[in-house]
Amino acid sequence: MSAKKPTSSEDKKTGRNQAEGQRTGVKRKDGTRIDDPRAVVGLSTRDRAIDHELALLSGSIRFLLDITPMNVEQARTEFLATGELPEFVYRDVVDDPEVLKRVLEDVPIHLVDDTVLGTLLRNKHKEMSLQLDMLAARDTEDFMPLSIELYGAILPDLRRSAELILETVTATESTSAGSLGAKEFLDLAREEIDHYRQQDPDIEMHAEIRDDVSGVMVSGNSLLLGPESKVRKARAHALLQHEVGTHLVTHFNGSAQPIKILGTGLARYDETQEGLAVLAEVACGGLTAFRLRQLASRVLTVHRMVTGATFAEAHSALVADGVPASSAFTTTMRAYRAGGLTKDAIYLRGMLDLLGHLRRGGSLDLLLLGKFSLEDLPLIDDLQERGVLEPALLQPRWLDDQDATARLGRAAALDDPTAFVNA
């Protein structure tokens, strides 16, 4: 299951040379020869230029940042004290979504020659148009239907799994070990990034504390922390594997590919990406009872929101389920922000889908090449088989854990989602 890791500059050079060798045989599967310019990466210059153009535009859209409130901590304090939710305050959207839509329309996706790449880019083009519609509809009643279109509906099986987890996993780990503040966790994150610089000193990864951020999140090649962020010590290593070892690593690996859109993410990549990040927590032995309950709570909160519950009602339901009031506020805010963001249902769903993939004999190796959905795996496999894609430059630390394969295997063999804790 694990991917091979370049352990030195010479190893990485050898890996690149092997990849080049796969692409520069006397004759390729598609009939191109070594003296054909397309044989360098198997794609025409025009196809690559269109991919680059779309990737640059995708990278310029700060979607998650722009739909997340800046005043979360102030709102939390006021809501928990009075029961009244103050108005959320959002960043100014730097570029007018309507202007960006016009720019997007001018990207000549219809001119892509390669059938597989054309399919991937067309789907991404449609998704970006939908995201820009969401930014334009931020904090209005039009936002939630667009979110459901982007992230999909919550089906009964997923809701039942979430309910079962909250009903069954009631004992959570002790908090006696305490928590790390933002500065302490930032230091750990920078140490983690330095670990990957040993694999490739030229990597572009950053971590910083920002006043306009709440909690911990990744945007592009940066890990962002709010100044009031606190991370349970028992969760710190797993969170690093989730954010740095998965989100930042796949961003870098994808950005290093000839197909640049793999760095910012293909259409519908979020669900598989978040599922993979949760599997990183499983692999390193860090999926705690509290965390599993959190994932289930997110599903149920999104469901309650979609079916008409108010913010206060959804928050009260979580508290009744045994979730601490402050944690319940975070979960509820994440769902109700911007007019109703349904993204939080995808974490548990993505994990369950990937465990099913492993159960059927699938591998995680290709998923390390960049950000894309499990649904697109056959298309990515086609590109790799044709020599279009290069080996991943970075190997996640969580796959270095000698027990990672066994932990993932045990989790994949389980039918009961309540048993996933430290499987």
Q: How confident is the model at residue 177 (pLDDT cuts 50, 70, 90)?
A: confident
Residue 18 has pLDDT above 90, yes or no: no
What does each C-alpha distance from 183 to 188, 189, 210, 211 come to in angstroms? 9, 10, 11, 13
pLDDT tens by residue, 50-98 = 999 999 999 999 999 999 999 999 999 999 999 999 999 999 998 999 9
Kindly indicate the confidence band of residue 400, based on its pLDDT and cuts at 50, 70 and 90.
confident
Beta bridge partners of residue 27, listed in sequence order: 33
pLDDT of residue 41: 55
Give the CA distances from residue 245 to residues 189, 218, 289, in Å, rounded to whole numbers and listed in that order.
Answer: 10, 11, 21
Edge-first strand order for the sheet with 206-209 is 206-209, 222-225, 216-219
User: What per-residue confidence (pLDDT) applies to 32?
Assistant: 40
Per-range mean pLDDT, top range of 27-31, 164-168, 400-404: 164-168
Stated pTM of the model: 0.89
The proportion of the chain whose per-residue pLDDT surpasses 90, expressed as a percent, equals 84
| Rounded CA separation 346/89 (Å) | 25
Average pLDDT across the chain, whole number: 90
Report pLDDT digits (tens) over 26-49: 333 344 433 444 443 579 999 999
Counting Cβ atoms within 10 Å, is residue 42 exposed (0-12), middle (13-18) or buried (19+)? buried
pLDDT digits (tens, 9 = 90+) for 251-300: 999 999 999 999 999 999 999 999 999 999 999 999 999 999 999 999 99
Q: How confident is the model at residue 423 (pLDDT cuts 50, 70, 90)?
A: low
Number of H helices, E strands in the chain: 19, 5
Q: Cα–chain-centroid distance for residue 385?
A: 25
Task: Compute the average pLDDT of residues 185-193.
Answer: 97
389, pLDDT greater than 90:
yes
> Within 13 Å of residue 18, how many CA atoms lie on the same side as its CB?
11
pLDDT tens for each residue of 324-363 = 999 999 999 999 999 999 999 999 999 999 999 999 999 9
pLDDT digit string, tens, across residues 119-144: 999 999 999 999 999 999 999 999 99
Instruction: Tell me what pLDDT residue 422 has.
Output: 65
CA 255, distance to chain mean position in Å, is 15
In contact, 342 and 306? CB cutoff 8 Å: yes
pLDDT digit string, tens, across residues 146-157: 999 999 999 999
The pLDDT-based confidence of 420 (bands split at 50, 70, 90) is: confident
On the question of pLDDT at 241 being above 70, the answer is yes
Q: How confident is the model at residue 245 (pLDDT cuts 50, 70, 90)?
A: very high
Q: Which residue has better confidence, 17 or 332? A: 332
With contact defined as beta carbons under 8 Å apart, do 259 and 389 qualify?
Answer: yes
- One-letter amino acid identity for 112? V
